[in-house]
């Protein structure tokens, strides 16, 4: 978000405070807000989408709607004072740490499964098998609300929604004191268009995503949660990532590569332990046979 605020400051300095605000100035504000908000909407929508595909859509949408309601309450109560009253860095740190915890938990499970150290037939897998049987019979089960999914979706939408609110207010107010109301309105238009476009794009990619194997999706979710969590937690400490929000895909690649290396390492360890165990078993059997011999 830092680059967004910097570009708002640039826009503010480009048009001098005394010059009258023109329509192109306002559209420039709308465009800048559109671009900055699109990044935040993509981040929030990614989490909503993965929760929807991997857990269930009911939980994901309940979390997202609850966050939108909370946002409406906060923005409605505080108005433009939100910039002064909401400790966005503390919120980023809190949400970031929670996402890292969630993400590591999911990554750990997925890596253990990929390396063959965790049985696929655990309770979750048995539940999934039963669900598949029910679906195969053509019956449907109403998806239950999953607190984990609701919480994930809620936190992501609340944090990113607050960032969008910050963008709209800082961009809108940066134009001039007299025209700040018009500036905020145009910035809000830019942000709203970005939100609608991101949701439409998400609806289009939802169907292909459902064809990806569930375990793979859960692994990807773990990587994404850890990446977003790392990014937000560091931002919470006031750290500016290189390339700003564009560093998130780099974080995803880092964690994917690390996971690949960890799976390879665990597979090797498993093979070496199994080889040692079979050698020991063979030695014990040979010893027993020798003892039995007259």
- Measured distance CA(222)–CA(209) in Å, rounded: 16
Which residues 6+ apart lie within 8 Å of 17 measured at CB? 176, 177
Instruction: Indicate which single residue of 10, 81, 108, 124 sits in contact with other proteins (rule: CB under 8 A).
Output: 108
Shortest Å, Cβ 137 to other proteins = 32
Shortest Å, Cβ 273 to other proteins = 5
Assigned token pair, 65: 């709607």
Q: What angle do CA 261, 263, 268 make, to 5 degrees?
A: 95
Site string for other proteins, 25-64 (x = CB under 8 A): ----------------------------------------
- Measured distance CA(142)–CA(58) in Å, rounded: 9
| Cβ nearer to other proteins, comparing 10 with 260 | 260
| Cβ nearer to other proteins, comparing 44 with 233 | 233
- Measured distance CA(286)–CA(280) in Å, rounded: 10
Please state the φ and ψ torsions of residue 155, each to the nearest 5 degrees.
-65, -45
| Cβ nearer to other proteins, comparing 85 with 239 | 239
256 binds other proteins (CB under 8 A): no
Instruction: Indicate which single residue of 135, 270, 271, 281 sits in contact with other proteins (rule: CB under 8 A).
Output: 270
252 binds other proteins (CB under 8 A): no
Q: Which 135-174 positions form the footprint of other proteins (CB under 8 A)?
A: 147-148
234 binds other proteins (CB under 8 A): yes
- Site size with other proteins, rule: CB under 8 A: 36
- Measured distance CA(59)–CA(65) in Å, rounded: 10
Q: Which stretch binds other proteins (CB under 8 A): 36-44, 60-68, 102-110, 179-187?
A: 102-110
Instruction: Indicate which single residue of 239, 264, 275, 284 sits in contact with other proteins (rule: CB under 8 A).
Output: 239
Binding residues for other proteins (CB under 8 A): 93, 97-98, 100-102, 104-105, 107-108, 111-112, 115, 117-118, 147-148, 226, 230, 233-234, 237-239, 241-242, 247, 251, 254-255, 258, 262, 266, 269-270, 273
């Amino acid at each position: 978000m830092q680059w967004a605020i910097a570009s708002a400051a640039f826009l503010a300095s480009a048009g001098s405070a005394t010059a009258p605000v023109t329509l192109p100035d306002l559209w420039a504000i709308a465009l800048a807000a559109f671009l900055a908000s699109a990044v935040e909407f993509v981040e929030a929508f990614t989490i909503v989408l993965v929760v929807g595909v991997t857990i269930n859509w009911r939980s994901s949408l309940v979390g997202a709607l609850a966050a939108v309601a909370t946002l409406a309450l906060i923005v409605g109560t505080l108005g433009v004072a939100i910039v002064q009253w909401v400790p966005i860095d503390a919120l980023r740190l809190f949400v970031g740490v929670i996402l890292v915890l969630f993400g590591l938990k999911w990554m750990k499970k997925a890596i253990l499964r990929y390396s063959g150290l965790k049985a696929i037939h655990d309770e979750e897998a048995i539940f999934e098998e039963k669900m598949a049987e029910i679906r195969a019979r053509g019956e449907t089960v109403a998806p239950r609300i999953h607190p984990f999914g609701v919480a994930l979706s809620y936190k992501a939408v609340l944090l990113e929604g607050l960032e969008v609110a910050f963008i709209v207010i800082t961009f809108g107010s940066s134009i001039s004191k007299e025209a700040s109301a018009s500036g905020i309105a145009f910035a809000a238009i830019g942000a709203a268009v970005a939100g609608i476009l991101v949701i439409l794009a998400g609806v289009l990619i939802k169907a292909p995503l459902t064809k990806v194997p569930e375990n793979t999706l859960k692994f990807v979710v773990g990587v994404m949660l850890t990446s977003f969590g790392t990014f937000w937690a560091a931002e919470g400490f006031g750290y500016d990532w290189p390339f700003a929000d564009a560093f998130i895909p780099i974080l995803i690649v880092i964690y994917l590569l690390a996971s690949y290396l960890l799976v390879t390492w665990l597979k090797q360890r498993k093979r070496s332990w199994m080889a040692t165990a079979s050698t020991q078993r063979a030695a014990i059997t040979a010893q027993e046979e020798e003892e039995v011999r007259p």
